[in-house]
Structure 1
Amino acid sequence: MNPFISKILVNIAQKRLEANKSSKPITKSEINPLVKKLEVELAHTIKEYAFIVIGVFAAGFGLKGFLLPNQFIDGGATGISLLVQNITKLPLGILLILVNLPFLLLATKTINKTFALRSIIAIAFLALVVHYVDYPVVTEDKLLIAIFGGFFLGLGIGMAIRGGSVIDGTEILAIYLSRKLSISIGDVLLLINVIIFSFGAYILSVEIALYAILTYLSAAKTVDFVVDGVEEYIGVTIISDFHDDIRKVLTEKLERACTIYPARGGYKNDNTHYDKSVIYIIITRLELAKLNTEIDKIDKQAFIIMNVVKDLRGGTIKRKPLK
C-alpha cells in the first residue's frame, strides 16, 4: 500500500487506541492488527464504490443513450421520474432525487443508515451524470431502445447493489412492504410497476407502456444476472481457525444470530477429535459486502461457502440488519 496512506491508517489506529485506553503507552503489537483491519476495510470500500461508479455511468447511458431521447419509461422510481419528466419537462436529475428521497428515508429503518447514505450518494451522482454528461443517442429503433435501454439500466442497478447501495428506491419500499404484509419482494415490485405502466398507458400511449414493460423485463433480468436478486437470502458457512473471533464479530458487533456446530478435518484420513467449529449464518445479499469485510479483517484465508436460500421461516433473520 502507498506509504502515505499507510501513515494515515497508522495515525487513525493510534487515535482509536488512545480513545479506548487511559494512560498506558500504546505498543506496536497493538497498532499493527488494527492497521491491517483498516487496510482491509479501505480496500473493500474502494471496491464497493468502484461498483457504484460503474453502475451510475451504465445507468446514465441507458437513460440518456436510449430511453430519455425517445420518451420511453421504465419501472420503479426511475420510471416514475421519466413519466413525470415527460409531463412536466423538469430536469430528470432533479426528479431522480425528489422521487427517490422518501424511499431513502425509509431505508434508514428498513436496512441501515450506512446503506441509506451510500444510496443517497449513488443517486445524487446519477443525477449529476444525467444532467451534465452527454451520451450519444444510439438508435431510434423502438425494440432496440426497450431491450438495450433496459439492459444498461439493469446493469447500473445491479452494480450499485453489488456496491452496497441502490439507485432505484422502489426496491427499498418492496423490502419494507414484504416484511409488513408477508408477501414476496417480487410481488410488491410487480404491483408497483403495474401501477406505473398503467399511468404510462393513460398519459403517453399504450404502445409506449408495452415497450416500457419490455424495458422493465430486460432490466430485471440483467439485475438478476448481476446480483441474483434484491434481498435474496444467502446461507453462509464459515470455516476458520479463528472461529471464535468471527463468532464474536457476528453476534456482538454485527448483532446477528448464527449457528455453531462442531466438526473435524477430513483431509488425508484425519480421524482426530472434533477440533473445529463451523459457523452458519443467513444474511441478505445487500449485507454480504459488510460480512466479507469483517471476516477478511480477522482471517483472509477463511473457507467460506455461500448458498442461495429460497425460503425460510422463524428465527430472527429480519429483526437486526447489519450496521
Structure 2
Amino acid sequence: MFGGFFLGAGIGLSVRGGAVIDGTEVLAIFLSRKLGTTIGDIIIAINIVIFGTAAYLLSVEIALYSMVTYLSASKTLDFVIEGIEEYTGVTIISSYSDKIRGMIIEKLGRGVTVYNGKGGFGKTGEAKDIDIVYTVVTRLELNRLNTEIQKIDSDAFIVMSRIKDTKGGMIKKRPLKH
C-alpha cells in the first residue's frame, strides 16, 4: 500500500510537470481526453491486463499484490493530478435563494448563476416559480457552503456533482501540462 502511494505520487508529479514514466502514461493521457475518464483509471485498466498476463505466466499471488499496489497508486495519482482543488457543482433550490446567493458571493467569494425554474413536486404538488442557484466550489469549501445553507434554509434541496473541467469565470485553473 505504501509503495502504491509513493508510486502514484511520483507518477502524478511527473505528469503534472509534463513528463511521463513509461508508455502507459502517454496512452492514459490520450485516452482520458477521448473517453473523459481519469488518468488513474486508465492506468489501472491497462495494468490489469498486464497483471492478468503475469498471473497466468508467473504467479497469481504476485499479480494480486501488484494489483493492490496499483489500486493505491491510481487513487494517489488522481489526487496529485487533480489536486486538492477538485471542483463540485452545487445546485440549490430554496425559497431563500436571494439570501443564499448573497451568502455565496459575500462569505465564499464565489460567483453564482441563477436560473428561473418551476417547482411542482412539493407536498401540495402546486407549481410555483422559483429561483435555482448554481455555483462551483472546491472540495475544501463544500462543508462550509453546506453549513451556511443550513443556517439560512434547513429545507433547501441541494444537488452536488463532480466537475471534471471548467473554463472562464472565477475559477483558478490548475497548471497541468499534458
Q: Unaligned stretches of 5+ in structure 2?
A: 22-65, 174-178
Name 1:75's counterpart in structure 2: 7
User: Using the alignment, how far apart are the partners of 1:317 and 1:73 within structure 2?
Assistant: 29
2:134 is equivalent to residue 280 of structure 1: yes
Name 2:102's counterpart in structure 1: 248
2:169 is equivalent to residue 315 of structure 1: yes
Deviations 1:185-213 (A, max 9, x none): x9317848x4xxxxxxxxxxxxxxxxxx9
**Greater relative CO (CA pairs within 8 A, separation 6+):** 2
Name 1:188's counterpart in structure 2: 16
SS in 2 for 1:264: strand
Name 1:306's counterpart in structure 2: 160
Report if the CA contact (8 A) 1:238-1:305 is conserved. Answer: yes
User: Using the alignment, how far apart are the partners of 1:219 and 1:293 within structure 2?
Assistant: 32
User: Using the alignment, how far apart are the partners of 1:290 and 1:277 within structure 2?
Assistant: 22
Name 1:233's counterpart in structure 2: 87
2:114 to 257, 260, 283: 260
Report if the CA contact (8 A) 1:262-1:278 is conserved. Answer: yes
Structure 1 residues 311 and 220, CA, compared in 2 at 3 Å: closer, same or farther?
A: same
Q: Which has the larger radius of gyration?
A: 1
Partner amino acid for 2:148? E
Structure 1 residues 271 and 224, CA, compared in 2 at 3 Å: closer, same or farther?
A: farther
1:217 to 70, 74, 84: 70
Name 1:121's counterpart in structure 2: none
Q: Unaligned stretches of 5+ in structure 1?
A: 1-61, 80-169, 175-185, 195-212
Structure 1 residues 225 and 315, CA, compared in 2 at 3 Å: closer, same or farther?
A: closer
TM-score (norm 2): 0.53
Higher helix share: 1
User: Using the alignment, how far apart are the partners of 1:284 and 1:307 within structure 2?
Assistant: 11
Partner amino acid for 1:285? R
Count of matched residue pairs? 125
Structure 1 residues 253 and 265, CA, compared in 2 at 3 Å: closer, same or farther?
A: same
Structure 1 residues 239 and 73, CA, compared in 2 at 3 Å: closer, same or farther?
A: closer
Partner amino acid for 1:304? I
Q: What CA RMSD, in Å, does the superposition of the two structures yield over aligned residues?
A: 3.9
Name 2:126's counterpart in structure 1: 270
Structure 1 residues 297 and 271, CA, compared in 2 at 3 Å: closer, same or farther?
A: closer
